[in-house]
Amino acid sequence: MTNAMELYQMLPKTNCKKCGKTSCMAFAVALMARELKPEDCPPLMDEPKYKENYEKLSSIFKPSEGATETGLIVHEDLCFGCGNCVVACPPNVANDPYGVGSGNAPTNINKLVLTIEDGIVKAQNLGECRRFGKNKILCNGCIVTCPVEAIEFV
Amino acid sequence: MEKNYHVCTGCSLLCDDIEVEAEKNKINKVHTACRIGVAHMKAGKEEAIFRVDNKPVDEATAISEAAAILKNAKNPMIFGLGASTNEAQKTAIELAKKINATLDDTSSFCLGSLVEALISEKIKTCTLDDVRNKADVIIFWGTDPSDSHPRHLSKYSYFPRGSEKQRGWEEERTAIAIDVRKSHTAKICGNYFFQIPPKGDAEFTDALIAGLSGKLPKTSYNYPPKKILELANILKGAKFGVIFVGRGLIYSLENLEPLFRLMKALNEKANFHLMPMVGNYNTMGFNENLFAETGYVNSVKFENGTVLHGPDYSIVEALKERTVDAALIVGSDPFSILPRSIVKNLLEIPVISIDPYETLTSRNSKVYINTAISGVEAGGSATRMDGKKVSFEPAIETNHPSDETILKKIMEAL
């Protein structure tokens, strides 16, 4: 996963404020949080010398087009439905402690972020995910528990 | 809301919390099961298949042909039954007695010796529910449940909250993998993965025992003593430890003595249990049923009321020495799981295959009878890897006969 510093390195670093942010570093942080897009930086778009950097930046953010609102992508070909992520996911445990939180079948399906369907993990109710919304945190409960790296956040 | 849960018979975990969506007796969607379970539950065929010499026939012909093969055989063998219900297994044992057959299952070349030690209470064991509720140190030795029993970690051994482990895996549980390669399970165990060379298990066990009593652990392959001591310290502090033993460990040991020694040393300092990672969903049941009947878990031969036991009556030796002249194979695929040099001898004798799936064995058999998938198309009971009895009802209705029905019919035809 890219961090804000890496993104900053690809920006013009002139602090021109044309994007509305106070500095390029602030823009990089906003990019990271997906509040802004690389296209929101006017010099990056207009000046040919930044063309290469712009292409790099947009390729970083490209996978997010197919991803969910929290940036969660499930690689269905890799997942084999072990359910580690379902049981380890903190909102899942909080919303269904005796169901999925205890390793059993879900009992409160409308509040669960991850469930297993036909042997493959399915993401839903992303409003419950800890990576969603303004106060999001970079929770990685589902990533570190996956034996095959089938879940990714972009 | 009361939900109708089904039991998955895809592996010996026998997950009992599976929801299925079925329409017109065909399963469309399976919830909560892993990919193995889904493939297993969806594998049902529309029509039952009976074949003699690879030509379709009706049920009666197939059964009379099977009975004729067994009747003409002087020394028939019954093999498999790891994927049959307890009821079918008991019928097969009766059948074996009646025709003086050699009876064996996959445990003779898998974990049979360990299961025998557990059934005769030589080693302390526990249930999977105990593991979920209490276990704080979990060792996976020579096994990769992430691949073989995908829901093992998430349903019982590592991730779930239990009655005495409510704060979750990060704070309250330590998972340790000891293996010859970095398996998927080892990846989850992170820093607690101990990679040893093949056949290095016995030495590692002794080094660990030395480490437990504070001595310097030595191995011929120079495993860092600091790491073994670190592991020994974790094990010493376990309030409820459990070792899941897979074939990797059993194949590497010449006998079970090192394991007995380790369990004794561990239980002097802490509280440790052991559980075999049985593969087929009811191998444990077969071992228990046969033990109750004969006092042995596998490799037996019935001879006019007496029971002979020994490695000579295991499938591998029986085929190698060509002592059997017909084989009835129930729910197993020796052509896929045994070495070619041994299994090619099966081609020389008439084989009856009773299996819910088309396998390499079913294609190479004289009689093939397609049966119902337990838990999906047929009910019954089975024994989970920890010895707990689980009964199940069929999820859909089909005209497939269960293996129990077929075995009974063959017995009648005899």
pLDDT more than 70, % of chain B: 100
Domain boundary among B217, B241, B276: B276
Nearest CB to B38: which of A88, A103, A119?
Answer: A119
* Mean pLDDT along residues B266-284: 93
pLDDT at B1 over 50: no
Q: Tell if the CB–CB gap between B155 and A81 is shorter than 8 Å.
A: no
Verify that B255 and B117 share a domain, yes or no.
yes
Q: Tell if the CB–CB gap between B32 and A88 is shorter than 8 Å.
A: no
The total of structural domains in chain B comes to 2
Q: Tell me the average pLDDT of chain B.
A: 92
The tokens describing A95, both together, are 């919303």
The tokens describing B414, both together, are 């005899």
* pLDDT given for residue A69 in this prediction: 64
Residue B8 resides in a domain: no
CATH 1.10.15.40-classified regions of chain A: 4-65
> Which of 2.70.170.10, 3.40.50.620, 1.10.15.40, 3.40.50.720 is the CATH number of A4-65?
1.10.15.40
pLDDT at A64 over 60: no
* pLDDT given for residue A39 in this prediction: 85
Q: Tell if the CB–CB gap between A103 and B160 is shorter than 8 Å.
A: yes
Q: Tell if the CB–CB gap between B34 and A82 is shorter than 8 Å.
A: yes
CA A140-A146-A147 angle, 5° bins = 145
CATH number of A72-153: 3.30.70
Residue B54 resides in a domain: yes
Q: Quick one: how many helices (H) and strands (E) in chain A?
A: 7, 4
Whether the CB of A116 is below 8 Å from some CB of chain B: the reply is yes
Question: Nearest residue on chain B to A83, judged by CA atoms?
Answer: B154
pLDDT at A22 over 80: yes
CA distances from A67 to A70, A71, A75 (A): 8, 5, 11
Residue B183 resides in a domain: yes
Domain boundary among B231, B247, B276: B276
Confidence of residue B309 (pLDDT cuts 50, 70, 90): very high
* Mean pLDDT along residues B92-103: 94
Among A104-108, A130-134, B216-220, name the one with the lowest average pLDDT.
Answer: A130-134
Confidence of residue A145 (pLDDT cuts 50, 70, 90): very high
Residue B385 resides in a domain: no
CA distances from B375 to A7, B18, B384, B402 (A): 54, 11, 13, 11
pLDDT at A138 over 90: no
What ipTM was predicted for this assembly?
Answer: 0.87
Confidence of residue A2 (pLDDT cuts 50, 70, 90): low
CATH 3.30.70-classified regions of chain A: 72-153
Q: Rounded distance, CA B57 to CA B267, Å?
A: 59
Contacts of B26 (CB under 8 A, 6+ apart): B44, B46, B396
Verify that B266 and B285 share a domain, yes or no.
no
Verify that B139 and B233 share a domain, yes or no.
yes
Nearest CB to B31: which of A87, A116, A145?
Answer: A116
Verify that B200 and B245 share a domain, yes or no.
yes
* Mean pLDDT along residues B105-121: 92
pLDDT at A35 over 80: no
Contacts of B245 (CB under 8 A, 6+ apart): B111, B114, B141, B142, B143, B259, B274, B275, B276, B277
pLDDT at A131 over 90: no
- Which of chain B's residues have a Cβ under 8 Å away from the Cβ of A101? 160-161
* Mean pLDDT along residues A120-149: 86
Residue B386 resides in a domain: no
H-helix or E-strand spanning residue B354: strand B351-355
Between chain A and chain B, the number of residue pairs with CB atoms below 8 A apart is 97
pLDDT at A136 over 90: no
3-state secondary structure of A78: coil
- Which of chain A's residues have a Cβ under 8 Å away from the Cβ of B156? 103
* pLDDT given for residue B271 in this prediction: 94
User: Cβ distance B154 to B185 under 8 Å?
Assistant: no
Instruction: Say which residue, B7 or A6, is predicted with more confidence.
Output: B7
**CATH code, domain carrying B74:** 3.40.50.740
Verify that B259 and B128 share a domain, yes or no.
yes
User: Cβ distance B403 to B286 under 8 Å?
Assistant: no
Verify that B228 and B323 share a domain, yes or no.
no
Q: Beta strand pairing status for B241-245 and B137-141?
A: parallel
Confidence of residue A45 (pLDDT cuts 50, 70, 90): confident
Verify that B314 and B258 share a domain, yes or no.
no
* Mean pLDDT along residues B138-159: 94
Among B29, B31, B189, the residue to mutate for chain A (most A Cβ within 10 A): B31
Q: Tell if the CB–CB gap between A105 and B146 is shorter than 8 Å.
A: no
CA distances from A95 to A107, A129, B31, B34, B156 (A): 9, 11, 18, 22, 19
Verify that B203 and B54 share a domain, yes or no.
no
- Which of chain B's residues have a Cβ under 8 Å away from the Cβ of A84? 153-154, 158-159, 188
pLDDT at B24 over 90: no
Residue B39 resides in a domain: no
Task: Return the sign of the alpha-carbon dihedral for residues B370, A82, A72, A110.
Answer: positive
Whether the CB of B33 is below 8 Å from some CB of chain A: the reply is yes
**CATH code, domain carrying B174:** 3.40.228.10
Question: Nearest residue on chain A to B7, judged by CA atoms?
Answer: A105
From the CA of B57, how many Å to the nearest CA of chain A? 34
pLDDT tens digits for B335-376?
A: 999 999 999 999 999 999 999 989 999 999 999 999 999 888
pLDDT more than 90, % of chain A: 32
Among B154, B164, B167, the residue to mutate for chain A (most A Cβ within 10 A): B154
Residue B151 resides in a domain: yes
pLDDT tens digits for B183-210?
A: 999 999 999 999 999 999 999 999 999 9
Q: Which domain range does residue B59 map to?
A: 49-109+281-374+398-413
* Mean pLDDT along residues B241-263: 94
pLDDT tens digits for A92-121?
A: 999 999 999 999 999 988 889 999 999 999
- φ, ψ of residue B128 to 5 degrees: the values are -65, -30
Whether the CB of B182 is below 8 Å from some CB of chain A: the reply is no
